[in-house]
Copies of this chain bind each other. A is one copy, B any other.
């Protein structure tokens, strides 16, 4: 990924818009060898882990990880109900994507949509009985997969460190976002 100098033509003399002139250590143009290694590892993880989650859930329940996430978040609510917009936020999805996915889940009888009584613009997604059964059935295996691939692969300290690191990155990605779902239980209404 050209995080180190090109092994090719005049590379380190590449012309480019110089960034902020006043950097502390004047961050070098390329990554150091060890930085590059970590970055490529993360990129590999980005490509591999979602595929593994989809594979497990696809095998065991015919669901994608995203579909599972939608149903799982619903299952955690006392009324197995959530507004579409809130659900989109929780699952890191665009409204459009969520709309399409919920439509498909509805066709499969796993979720139902009802107009929100409080706000005519909103739609509530409700987990059906069958949807709940599906989640309850597949969740243990899914959690086992997550344990096996991630949680149990690391020491508790590593896990905590990784969590902190991800927080830092997420703050840079979305400066306004609360990453820790703590006091978002009563979203808007």
**Contact among B30, B143, B161, B180 with A3 in the assembled complex (CB-CB below 8 Å):** B143
How far apart are the CA atoms of A161 and B155 in the complex, in Å? 11
Q: Which residues of B contact A136 (CB under 8 A)?
A: 6, 9, 11, 14
**Are B181 and A40 in touch, CB under 8 angstroms?**
yes
- Any B CB within 8 A of the CB of A176: no
**Are B173 and A49 in touch, CB under 8 angstroms?**
yes
**Are B172 and A165 in touch, CB under 8 angstroms?**
no
How far apart are the CA atoms of A180 and B38 in the complex, in Å? 9
Q: Which residues of B contact A150 (CB under 8 A)?
A: 39, 42, 169
Q: Which residues of B contact A27 (CB under 8 A)?
A: 144, 147, 152
Interface stretch of the complex, out of A73-81, A99-107, A108-116, A117-125: A73-81
**Are A19 and B132 in touch, CB under 8 angstroms?**
no
- Any B CB within 8 A of the CB of A37: yes
Q: A35-B159, A162-B162, A173-B49 are in contact. Are A153 and B141 (CB under 8 A)?
A: no
Q: Which residues of B contact A7 (CB under 8 A)?
A: 76-78
Q: Which residues of B contact A1 (CB under 8 A)?
A: 68-69, 72-73, 142
**Are A38 and B147 in touch, CB under 8 angstroms?**
no
Q: Which residues of B contact A149 (CB under 8 A)?
A: 169, 172-173
Q: Which residues of B contact A17 (CB under 8 A)?
A: 141
Interchain Cβ contacts under 8 Å between A and B, 16 examples:
A6-B75, A7-B76, A8-B76, A29-B143, A30-B143, A37-B163, A37-B181, A38-B162, A41-B166, A41-B167, A41-B170, A43-B69, A43-B92, A45-B173, A48-B170, A149-B169
Q: For the complex of A and B, list the 9 residue pairs with the smallest distance between their C-beta atoms, beginning with the closest.
A: A38-B163, A47-B92, A2-B72, A16-B140, A1-B72, A41-B166, A2-B139, A153-B168, A161-B161
